[in-house]
Structure 1
Amino acid sequence: MLRSLSFLIRRPFPVAPSPLFLIISIRRLDTLASPVPHPRRPSKNDAYFAAVHHIAGIVRSDFYLERTLGRLRLPPPTQDLVLRVLRDAAPSAPLSALRFFAWARSSSPSYRPSVAEFDALILPLARHRHWSRMWSLSADMRSLSLPLPPDTFAAVIEAYGAAALPDLAVDVFNRLPKFDCPQTTAVYNALLSALCLAGNFHGAYALIRRMARKQVPPDRRTFSVIVDAWCAAGKLRAAQEFLEEMNRRGFKPPVRGRDLLIDGLVNAGYLESAKEMVRRMTKEGVLPDITTFNSLLEALCKSGENDFCVDLLQNATDMGLCPDISTYKILIPAVSKLGKIEEAFKLFHSAVEDGNKPFPSLYAAIIKALCRAGRFGDAFSFFSDMKVKGHPPHRPVYTMLIKMCVRGGKFVEAANYLVEMTEMGLVPRSENFDMVVDGLKHCGNHELAKRMEQLEVSLRGY
Structure 2
Amino acid sequence: MLRFVPVLLIRRRSSPPPSIRHHLPLLLSPLRHLDTLAPPALPLPRYPSAKDAYFAVVHHIAGIVRRDFYLERTLGRLRLPPATPDLVFRVLRAAAPSAPLPALRFFAWARSSSHSYRPSAAEFDALILPLARHRHWSQMWSVAADMRSLSLPLLPSTFASVIDAYGQAALPDLAVDVFNRLPKFDCPQTTAIYNALLSALCRVGNFHGAYALIRRMARKQVPPDRQTFSTLVDAWCAAGKLREAQDFLEEMNRRGFKPPVRGRDLLIDGLVNAGYLEAAKEMVRRMTKEGVLPDVTTFNSLLEAVCKSGEIDFCVGLLQDASELGLCPDISTYKILIPAVSKLGKIEEAFRLFYCAVEDGNKPFPSLYAAIIKALCRAGRFSDAFGLFKDMKVKGHPPNRPVYTMLVKMCVRGGRFVEAANYLVEMTEMGLVPMPQSFDSVVDGLKHCGKHELAKRMEQLEVSIRGY
Q: Same fold by TM-score, threshold 0.5 exceeded?
A: yes
1:295 match: 301
The answer (yes or no) to whether the contact 2:27–2:79 under 8 Å persists in 1 is: no
Alignment of 1:60-459 (within 5 A): 60-459=66-465
Secondary structure of 1:374's partner? coil
Mapped contact 1:266–1:295 kept (Cα < 8 A): yes
Q: C-alpha separation between the residues in 2 aligned to 1:116 and 1:266?
A: 49
- Give the C-alpha shift of residue 68 in structure 1: 2.8
Between 87-96 and 327-336, the greater mean CA deviation after superposition: 87-96
Q: Distance in 1 between matches of 2:59 and 2:121?
A: 22
Kindly provide the amino acid, as one letter, of the partner of residue 27 in structure 2: L
C-alpha distance in 1 between matches for 2:276 and 2:66: 56
Aligned equivalents of 1:371 and 1:50: distance in 2?
76
Could you report, residue by residue, the CA deviation over 1:366-403 in whole angstroms, capped at 9, with x for unpaired residues?
11111111111111111111112111111110100000
In structure 1, how many angstroms separate the alpha carbons of the residues matched to 2:30 and 2:367?
A: 69
* Whole-angstrom distance in 1 between the partners of 2:195 and 2:59: 36
Question: What secondary structure is seen at the aligned counterpart in 2 of 1:293?
Answer: helix
**Does the residue aligned with 2:32 lie in a helix, a strand or coil?**
coil
Q: Is the 8 A contact 2:31 2:78 kept in 1?
A: no
Name the CA distance, whole Å, in 2 between partners of 1:407 and 1:129: 71
2:10 matched residue in structure 1: none
Alpha-carbon spacing, 1:296–1:8, altered in 2? closer, same or farther (3 Å): farther
Residue 4 of structure 1 is matched in structure 2 by: 26
Output the amino acid matched with 2:74. T
Q: What amino acid does structure 2 have at the position aligned with 1:378?
A: D
Shift of 1:149: 0.8
Query: 1:124: Cα distance to partner?
Result: 1.6
State the distance in 1 between where 2:387 and 2:132 align.
70
Q: Which 10-residue stretch deviates more, 324-333 or 79-88?
A: 79-88
Q: Check conservation: 2:65, 2:106, Cα contact below 8 A.
A: yes
Letter of the structure 2 residue corresponding to residue 42 of structure 1:
Y
Post-superposition shift, 1:437? 0.7
Is the CA contact (8 Å cut-off) linking 1:231 and 1:239 kept in structure 2? yes
Q: Which residue of 2 aligns with 1:54?
A: 60
Question: CA contact under 8 A between 2:32 and 2:44: conserved in structure 1?
Answer: no
Deviations 1:99-132 (A, max 9, x none): 2111111211221211111011111222233323
Which of 21, 24, 47 lines up with 1:42 in the alignment? Answer: 47
Bigger Cα displacement from structure 2, 357-366 vs 126-135: 126-135
Pick which of 149-158 and 137-146 moved more: 137-146
Deviates more, 1:357-366 or 1:118-127: 118-127
Note the alpha carbon deviations across 1:144-197, whole angstroms, 9 max, x for none. Answer: 222111111001001111111111111111111121111111111100001111
Q: Quick one: which amino acid aligns to residue 2 of structure 1?
A: L
Distance apart, 1:39 and its partner CA: 11
What's the CA shift string for 1:25-72, capped at 9, x where partnerless?
xxxxxxxxxxxxx99733344433332233223323434332332222
Distance 1:430 1:66 in 2: 83
Per-residue deviation at 1:459?
2.3
Q: Which amino acid aligns with 2:400?
A: H
The amino acid across from 1:3 in the alignment is P
Report deviation, 1:412: 0.7
Distance in 2, Cα, partners of 1:449 & 1:62: 87
1:5–1:48 CA contact under 8 A, matched in 2: no
Q: CA deviation at 1:11?
A: 7.0
Distance 2:127 2:396 in 1: 62
The answer to whether the Cα contact below 8 Å between 2:92 and 2:126 also exists between their aligned partners in 1 is: yes
Q: Distance in 2 between matches of 1:335 and 1:65?
A: 72
In structure 1, stretches of 5+ residues that fail to align are: 14-37
Q: What residue identity is the alignment partner of 2:357?
A: A
Task: Please say if residues 293 and 327 of structure 2, whose CA atoms lie closer than 8 Å, have aligned partners that are also in contact.
Answer: yes
Residue 205 of structure 1 aligns with an amino acid whose one-letter code is Y
Structure 2 distance, partners of 1:88, 1:306, is 58
> What letter matches 2:155 in structure 1?
P
Counterpart of 2:39 in structure 1 is: none
Structure 2: how far apart are the matches of 1:74 and 1:46?
17
SS of match in other structure, 1:56: helix
Q: CA deviation at 1:12?
A: 11
Is the 2:271–2:279 Cα contact (8 Å) retained in structure 1? yes
SS at match of 2:426: helix
After TM superposition, the score normalised by the length of structure 1 is: 0.91
Partner Cα separation in structure 1 for residue 84 and residue 305 of structure 2 = 63
Q: Give the drift of 1:429.
A: 1.8
Q: Does structure 2 conserve the Cα–Cα contact (< 8 Å) formed by 1:263 and 1:292? A: yes
Query: Residue by residue, what CA displacement relative to the aligned partner does 1:51-102 show, whole Å, maximum 9, x if unpaired?
Result: 2233223323434332332222111112222112212222233222112111
Structure 1 residue runs of 4+, over 6 Å off?
none
Deviation string, structure 1 residues 219-251 (Cα, Å, up to 9, x no partner)? 211111111111111111111111011111111
Deviates more, 1:447-456 or 1:268-277: 447-456
- How far, CA to CA, are the matches of 1:71 and 1:11 in structure 2? 10
Q: C-alpha offsets along residues 190-215 of structure 1, whole Å, 9 cap, x if unaligned?
A: 00001111211121122112222222
1:260 alignment partner AA: L
Q: Which amino acid aligns with 1:58?
A: I
Task: Tell me what 2:40 maps to.
Answer: none
Change (3 A) 1:130 1:460: closer
Report the TM-score when normalising by structure 2: 0.90
CA contact (8 A) 1:406 1:414 kept: yes
Kindly indicate whether the alpha-carbon contact (under 8 Å) linking 2:27 and 2:78 is maintained by their aligned counterparts in 1. Answer: no
